[in-house]
Amino acid sequence: MLAPGYRVLVTASSRGLGKATARRFLEEGAAAVTISSRDREGLNATARELSRVGGGSVHAVPADLTVREQVEGLVDRAHGLMGGLDSIVYVTGPPRAGRFAELGPDDWDYASRLLVLSAVWITYRAIDRLRRPGGSIVYMASTSIAEANLDLALSTVLRSSLSGLLRVVSHEAGALGLRANMVLPGLARTDRMEALVRRTSEARGVSPGEAERALTSGIPLGRAADPSEVASVAVFLASDAARYVNGATVAVDGGSMLRIL
């Protein structure tokens, strides 16, 4: 699926959806993958693990996505280490879970940098560094953009900004020969899901198994996604197989959303 010599940066990729996406790029034949995380120990362990997948090289660059200088430096470093950059898959760790009344101003300040400003910072740098024509950005967000989740107030409110960013960037970057698309994962088997299961279990006074069944009951396919299933869609959107897909938002949610528009 990937062109020979393909080089990609995947942010927040020491675990979860980011790690699964980096792995999938290597399985599909990427020549070089740069992974990042602020967790240096976890990042290095993931780099060692992924170095045994496929034949591509794996580069680990520590970075905190809430710090502008580190975000910009991450893109520059990835570009230098790999000798170029064909795609960036923008993934972030989750903000704090909770309803509006459970959150405070500091939570909103931190989450704004994590979920909104980091995307803006990385996009500016990406436009300067990505291969032209043919480079791409894939934003990985959440179905909370499309359907509000009251228990995930920070994600619901702030990730919605990425929809507007996608519209703007896909038009302006498209004129430069670049593409921008977005993946909306639903419930996937990550640390975030484990936290939601615990939260639901405690709130309802039920077992973790019952809590998980409650969370997945509205999914027509009857289960949460494996991270690799989300990763495959991100890799497709980043690849030349999707070279005429620009400005698209693809939900990977097992059909759980009932929205019309």
CB-based contacts of 133: which residues, under 8 Å, 6+ apart? 176, 177, 178
Tell me the average pLDDT of the chain.
Answer: 93
Residues 6 or more apart from 117 whose CB is under 8 A from it?
66, 68
- DSSP symbol at 227: H
What percentage of the chain reaches a pLDDT higher than 90? Answer: 74
- What does the pLDDT read at residue 260? 59
C-alpha span between 171 and 251 (Å, rounded): 21
Q: Which domains does the chain have, with CATH numbers?
A: 7-186+226-248 (3.40.50.720), 189-224 (no CATH)
* CB within 8 Å of 88: residues ≥ 6 apart: 8, 9, 10, 11, 75, 122, 126, 130, 136, 137, 138
Q: What is the pLDDT of residue 216?
A: 81
CA dist list (Å): 5 to 140, 179, 216: 24, 19, 40
pTM over 0.85: yes
CA-nearest of 60, 61, 8 to 31 is: 8
The confidence band for 261, taking pLDDT boundaries of 50, 70 and 90, is low
Mean pLDDT for 138-153 is 90
Per-residue pLDDT tens digits for 42-75:
999 999 999 999 899 999 999 999 999 999 999 9
What's the token pair of residue 41?
A: 């120990």
Residues 73-94 pLDDT 10s? 999 999 999 999 999 999 998 8
Which amino acid, residue 194?
E
